[in-house]
Amino acid sequence: MKYYHGHDNLYQKLLARGQAGWDKGDYESFQMLPLIKQFLSESHLKPSQSCALDLGCGTGSLACFLAAQGFTVTGIDISTTAIQSAKEQARKRNLNIDFRAADLCYEHLPEKTFDLITDNHFLHCIVFPDERKAVLKNIRQALKPHGEFWMETMVNYPQMIPAKEWNLDEEGISWYPIPPDQKTEECIERDGQLWLPTRRIQPSDQIIINELHQAGFHIFWQETTPPKDEKDTGAFRAKCRPNQ
52 neighbors 76 (Cβ within 8 angstroms): no
The three-state secondary structure class of 214 is: helix
Tell me: does residue 205 bind ligand SAM (CB under 6 A): no
The three-state secondary structure class of 163 is: coil
Out of 20, 104, 109, 116, point to the residue binding ligand SAM (CB under 6 A): 104
The CA–CA distances, whole Å, from 231 to 63, 127, 228 equal: 28, 20, 8
Out of 36, 89, 109, 121, point to the residue binding ligand SAM (CB under 6 A): 121
Residues from 125 through 144 that contact ligand SAM (CB under 6 A): 125-126
Tell me: does residue 23 bind ligand SAM (CB under 6 A): yes
Burial status of residue 174 (CB atoms within 10 A of its CB: 0-12, 13-18, 19 or more): buried
Letters for 28-47 (x = contact with ligand SAM by CB under 6 A, - = none) are --xx----------------
Tell me: does residue 77 bind ligand SAM (CB under 6 A): yes
| Nearer to ligand SAM (CB atom), residue 218 or residue 228 | 228
Tell me which stretch binds ligand SAM (CB under 6 A): 12-20, 22-30, 88-96, 218-226.
Answer: 22-30
Angstrom distance (rounded) from CA 133 to CA 151:
15
* DSSP secondary structure letter of residue 25: S
153 neighbors 235 (Cβ within 8 angstroms): yes
Tell me: does residue 20 bind ligand SAM (CB under 6 A): no
Residues that bind ligand SAM (CB under 6 A): 4, 7, 21-23, 30-31, 56-58, 61, 76-79, 82, 103-105, 120-122, 125-126
